[in-house]
């Protein structure tokens, strides 16, 4: 695969959520990602089936399907670890060790391996062994408390914990550790916790609060829906637009282009006037359709954009020009990012079927054809046809 990480081999112990997202980022940048799938099981419905083999997040992998309860399967993974740069797992603390694939076992085979651990609460702390999801992790950091209406916090999908504070944090961590391992020849464990990552994403808000510019309450601040110059508005056709005219020069351009001459709007930063100004601005946006407002405001410095649905986003001229979205086998999805000048990334192959590359990967680990047949016959390894 092209991309700046084409030299990197990553072992992914299959899971859901932020670990796979981190591996998607690495695969998008050219890394060879080998996903260790568990033995195939009948569909049981629920979240596991919903998230398994996601056609977007799981793109760019090779799949090796093994019965991880068998020590012969563990040995196969350890042989791959000997040739790998990074391993990523997202189990509760201690589970990988029980499988025989903890950091000590892996580093005994490959001292330079970077061992990435993705959890919600982290490897230590009183909550580290308890279950949870994105909404719980961001609750603990002040992030969820800051998002929503004045009366109730609202989860921002699972963007803050799982993906921004989880998967991206892990990807950054393992690449930093790999850069250090290249210099020293010694790998290390990377403990990436969504609570830590969500807290990091709140750095600006904590900084503003320390200076007295942020109130610890929802819809009381300039970025959380209270200010009239930073929010969304309904249009005549029921669609919405967004404005973010924080700086005075952008704010005055917004007023001018909207034809607003009311002197009340000169009190931009008088917090006590925000509610009244928001009500007035809401009435202005109701006078035209979203498309009409785009004709007036899009492409100006009024800090404006239409609020597009997921199905609309790919067709916006800016996204089309940059190739922000791509379609592979009928599946619309975000293109790899960021953009690299010298070693550009390319959209990797779609998500593999469980066990699609079992024979190929066992051979790469040093197994002979007869040994592979024996592992398959014993129910230790599974080929796609039997998955």
- 365: DSSP letter: T
Phi, psi of 183 (to 5 degrees): -75, -35
- Cα 72 from chain centre: 33
How many whole angstroms separate alpha carbon 115 and alpha carbon 165? 18
* Integer angstrom CA distances of residue 90 from 13, 16, 87: 7, 8, 10
According to the model, what pLDDT value does residue 289 have? 98
pLDDT of 261 reads: 98
How large is the C-alpha radius of gyration of the chain?
Answer: 25
Mean pLDDT of 129-140: 97
Beta strand pairing call for 240-244 and 230-234: antiparallel
Answer for the pair 187, 110: CB distance below 8 angstroms, yes or no.
yes
What length is written for the chain?
A: 387
d(CA 166, CA 25): 12
| Residue pair 170/87 in contact by the 8 Å Cβ criterion | no
What residues contact residue 244 under an 8 Å CB cut-off, 6+ apart?
229, 230, 303, 304
Query: pLDDT tens for residues 313-347?
Result: 999 999 999 999 999 999 999 999 999 999 999 99
| Complete domains list, the chain, with CATH | 9-201+328-386 (3.40.50.10540), 230-322 (3.30.1540.10)
What pLDDT score was predicted for residue 53? Answer: 57
What's the average model confidence in pLDDT over 223-249?
98
pLDDT of residue 1: 75
Mean pLDDT over 218-236 rounds to 97
- If residue 86 lies in a helix (H) or strand (E), which one and from where to where? strand 86-89
Residue 202's alpha-carbon distances to 138, 169, 210, in angstroms, are 10, 14, 12
- Residue 305 and residue 240 in contact, taking contact as beta carbons nearer than 8 Å: no
Question: For residue 387, is pLDDT > 60?
Answer: no
Confidence of residue 42 (pLDDT cuts 50, 70, 90): low
Angle CA 175–159–84, to nearest 5: 25
For residues 47 and 66, give the distance between their C-alpha atoms in angstroms, rounded to a whole number.
Answer: 21
Q: Is 332 helix (H, G, I), strand (E, B) or coil?
A: strand
Across 31-58, average pLDDT:
78
* Active-site entry in 54, 133, 252, 301: 133
Q: How do beta strands 381-382 and 61-66 pair?
A: antiparallel
Helices marked H in 159-286? 168-184, 194-201, 203-210, 248-257, 274-285
Q: What is the pLDDT of residues 66-89, one digit of tens each?
A: 999 999 999 999 999 999 999 999
Mean pLDDT (the chain) is 95
Residue range 251-284, pLDDT digits in tens: 999 999 999 999 999 999 999 999 999 999 999 9
Residue 81 CA to residue 76 CA, distance in Å, equals: 9
Instruction: Please tell me which residue in 37, 58, 85, 162 is annotated as part of the active site.
Output: 162
CA distance 300 to 291: 15
Whether 133 is a known active-site residue: answer: yes
- For helices 194-201 and 203-210, the axis angle rounded to 10 degrees is 50
Q: What is the number of helices (H) and of strands (E) in the chain?
A: 16, 12
Q: Please state, in angstroms and rounded to a whole number, the distance separating the CA atoms of residues 227 and 269.
A: 8
Question: According to the model, what pLDDT value does residue 347 have?
Answer: 96
Residue 55's pLDDT is what? Answer: 78
Model confidence at 386: pLDDT above 60: no
Residue 232 to residue 240: CA distance in whole angstroms: 6
**Beta-strand runs (E) in 206-365:** 230-234, 240-244, 304-306, 325-328, 331-334
* % the chain with pLDDT above 90: 94
The confidence score (pLDDT) of residue 384 equals 86
C-alpha span between 217 and 151 (Å, rounded): 10
**For position 304, what pLDDT does the model report?**
98
Distances (CA, A) of 288 to 236, 245, 250: 5, 19, 21
Ramachandran region, residue 7 (left: φ > 0; alpha: ψ -120 to 50; beta: rest): alpha
Q: How confident is the model at residue 126 (pLDDT cuts 50, 70, 90)?
A: very high
């Amino acid at each position: 695969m092209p991309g700046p990480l084409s030299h990197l081999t990553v072992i992914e112990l299959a899971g859901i959520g932020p670990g796979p997202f981190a591996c998607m980022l690495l695969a998008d940048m050219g890394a060879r990602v080998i996903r260790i799938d568990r033995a195939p099981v009948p569909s049981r419905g629920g979240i596991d089936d919903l998230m398994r083999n996601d056609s977007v997040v799981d793109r760019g992998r090779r799949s090796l399907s093994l019965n991880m309860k068998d020590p012969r399967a563990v040995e196969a993974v350890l042989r791959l670890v000997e040739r790998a740069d990074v391993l990523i797992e997202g189990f509760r603390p201690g589970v990988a060790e029980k499988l025989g694939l903890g950091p000590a076992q892996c580093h005994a085979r490959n001292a330079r391996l970077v061992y990435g651990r993705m959890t919600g609460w982290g490897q230590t702390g009183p909550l580290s062994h308890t279950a949870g999801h994105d909404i719980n992790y961001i609750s603990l950091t002040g992030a969820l408390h800051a998002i929503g209406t004045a009366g109730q916090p609202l989860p921002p999908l699972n963007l803050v914990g799982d993906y921004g504070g989880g998967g991206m944090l892990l990807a950054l961590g393992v690449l930093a550790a790999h850069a250090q391992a290249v210099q020293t020849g010694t790998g290390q464990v990377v403990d990436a916790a969504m609570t830590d990552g969500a807290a990091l994403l709140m750095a600006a808000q904590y900084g503003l609060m320390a200076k007295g510019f942020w109130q610890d309450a929802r819809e009381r601040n300039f970025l959380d829906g209270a200010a009239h110059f930073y929010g969304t508005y309904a249009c005549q056709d029921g669609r919405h637009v967004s404005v973010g005219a924080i700086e005075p020069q952008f704010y005055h351009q917004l007023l001018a282009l909207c034809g607003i001459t009311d002197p009340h709007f000169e009190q931009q930063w008088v917090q006590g006037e925000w509610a009244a100004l928001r009500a007035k601005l809401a009435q202005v946006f109701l006078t035209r359709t979203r498309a009409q407002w785009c004709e007036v405001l899009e492409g100006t410095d009024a800090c404006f954009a239409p609020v597009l649905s997921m199905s609309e986003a790919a067709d916006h001229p800016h996204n089309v020009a940059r190739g922000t979205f791509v379609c592979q086998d009928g599946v619309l999805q975000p293109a790899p990012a960021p953009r690299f000048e010298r070693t550009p990334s390319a959209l990797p192959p779609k998500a593999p079927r469980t066990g699609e590359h079992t024979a190929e990967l066992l051979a790469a680990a040093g197994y002979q054809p007869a040994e592979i047949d024996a592992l398959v016959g014993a129910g230790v390894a599974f080929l796609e046809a039997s998955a």
